[in-house]
C-alpha cells in the first residue's frame, strides 16, 4: 500500500534532486506514500504490518480494505508492530474510531504507546476497542485462528526512536523482523529496517519465498551529501543498498526468495528509473516496491 521511508516521496520540505524533479514533472519514476503492507490468507480478513502516517489514504486506495457490512465495519483484524518508529505507529491514530482490532507488539513497545504517550489512549476509550497482544522478541504465533497466517518474529536491533526517553525498556524488544507463513507453507519476510546483516539472518532469508527488505538508502553518506551534515545510514539503523558491505552484495548468494526493496527514502537515486543505480538494482535481480504492488504467494 505504501513503499517510501518516513517522509514519503516527495517529502514536504525536501528539495533534493529526486523531490525537485518529481515536482517539476521531469522525474522518471513514481511518487510513493510511506511504507505500509497488508496481508491476508482468505481475502476477507486482513492484517496490517505496522501503521503508516498515510494509512487513511492507503486504506481508501485499497478496495479490499473498505467496509462491507453494516454502518461500522472493517476487514482489518489487527496490526503487527515491529518498532516504535513514528512512521510505523502514527497510523494507529487514524484507526481510533472505536473499531475493535488487535495490536501485536512487544511489552516494551506496548509500554511506550500505552503508558508513556497518552494520545494512544484514544485506542482504548471503550471496552470493545483495541486489544493488545504481547509478543516475545522471538517466537511464533498465529495472526489469525488456524489455519490462518502464522508469524515468526526475531530481534533485529536494540535502538529505540529518539522520542523514547524513559529507561527500563528491553533492548531486544526495540526492533523486530518478521516472517509470515501461509497455510500452504509459503513465506514472506518483512524487514523495513535492517541495521546489520548477520549469517543467521542470511540463513533465515534463504527459507522465504518473498523478501520485503530495507531499501532506505543507496549509500552510507547519502543524507550527509544532500543536507551537508547529519547521520550516516548505518548510524540511523539501515544497511545501505550499495557498497562492499551493502545489501546487494551481502544478499547476492540468496537463491530462493524473490527480492523486493521497500521503505525507500526520497533521496535514494534508485527511485529514478533512468539512473545507473536503478539499472544496477534491476540487474542484480531486485525489484523496487511501488504503492499498490501486490504479491500472491
16 near Zn ion, rule: CB under 5 A = yes
- Provide the pairing of β-strand 46-49 with 258-262: unpaired
Binding mask 223-262 for Zn ion (x = CB under 5 A): ----------------------------------------
Evaluate whether 211 touches 256 at the Cβ level (below 8 Å).
Answer: no
What is the size of the binding site for Zn ion (CB under 5 A)? Answer: 4
Least distance in Å: CB of 35 to Zn ion? 16
CA 187-188-190 angle, 5° bins: 145
DSSP code at position 211:
E
Q: Whose Cβ is closer to Zn ion: residue 14's or residue 289's?
A: 14
- Select from 14, 79, 80, 271 the one that contacts Zn ion (CB under 5 A): 14
Tell me the β-bridge partners of 212: 190, 260
266 near Zn ion, rule: CB under 5 A = yes
19 near Zn ion, rule: CB under 5 A = yes
Binders in 34-93 for Zn ion, by CB under 5 A: none
Q: Whose Cβ is closer to Zn ion: residue 19's or residue 79's?
A: 19
Least distance in Å: CB of 267 to Zn ion? 5
- Pull the grid cell for residue 51: 501503521
Cα–Cα distance for residue pair 37/40, rounded to 1 Å: 10
Phi-psi region of 51 (alpha: psi -120 to 50; beta: other; left: phi over 0): beta
Least distance in Å: CB of 268 to Zn ion? 9
Least distance in Å: CB of 241 to Zn ion? 16
Residue 118, judged by CB atoms within 10 A of its CB (0-12, 13-18, 19+), counts as: exposed
Positions touching Zn ion (CB under 5 A) are 14, 16, 19, 266
Amino acid at each position: 500500500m505504501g513503499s517510501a521511508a518516513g517522509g514519503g516521496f516527495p517529502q514536504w520540505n525536501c528539495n533534493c534532486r529526486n523531490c525537485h524533479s518529481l515536482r517539476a514533472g521531469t522525474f522518471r519514476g513514481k511518487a510513493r506514500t510511506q511504507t505500509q503492507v497488508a496481508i491476508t490468507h482468505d481475502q476477507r480478513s486482513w492484517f496490517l504490518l505496522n501503521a503508516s502516517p498515510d494509512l487513511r489514504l492507503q486504506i481508501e486506495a485499497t478496495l479490499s480494505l473498505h467496509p462491507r457490512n453494516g454502518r461500522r465495519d472493517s476487514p482489518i483484524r489487527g496490526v503487527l508492530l515491529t518498532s516504535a518508529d513514528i512512521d510505523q505507529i502514527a497510523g494507529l491514530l487514524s484507526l481510533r474510531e472505536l473499531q475493535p482490532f488487535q495490536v501485536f507488539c512487544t511489552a516494551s513497545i506496548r509500554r511506550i504507546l500505552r503508558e508513556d504517550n497518552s494520545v494512544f489512549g484514544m485506542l482504548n476509550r471503550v471496552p470493545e476497542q483495541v486489544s493488545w497482544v504481547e509478543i516475545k522478541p522471538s517466537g511464533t504465533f498465529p495472526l489469525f485462528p488456524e489455519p490462518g497466517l502464522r508469524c515468526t518474529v526475531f530481534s533485529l536491533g536494540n535502538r529505540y526512536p529518539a522520542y523514547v526517553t524513559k529507561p527500563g525498556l528491553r533492548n531486544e524488544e526495540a526492533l523486530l523482523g518478521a516472517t509470515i507463513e501461509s497455510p500452504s507453507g509459503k513465506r514472506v519476510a518483512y524487514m523495513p529496517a535492517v541495521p546489520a546483516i548477520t549469517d543467521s539472518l542470511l540463513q533465515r532469508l534463504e527459507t522465504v519465498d518473498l523478501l520485503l527488505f530495507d531499501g532506505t538508502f543507496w549509500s552510507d553518506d547519502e543524507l550527509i551529501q544532500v543536507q551537508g551534515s547529519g547521520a550516516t545510514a548505518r548510524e540511523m539503523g539501515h544497511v545501505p543498498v550499495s557498497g562492499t558491505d551493502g545489501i546487494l552484495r551481502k544478499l547476492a548468494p540468496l537463491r530462493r526468495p524473490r527480492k523486493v526493496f521497500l521503505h525507500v527514502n526520497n533521496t535514494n537515486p534508485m527511485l529514478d528509473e533512468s539512473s545507473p543505480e536503478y539499472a544496477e538494482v534491476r540487474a542484480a535481480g531486485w525489484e523496487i516496491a511501488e504503492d499498490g504492488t501486490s504479491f500472491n504467494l
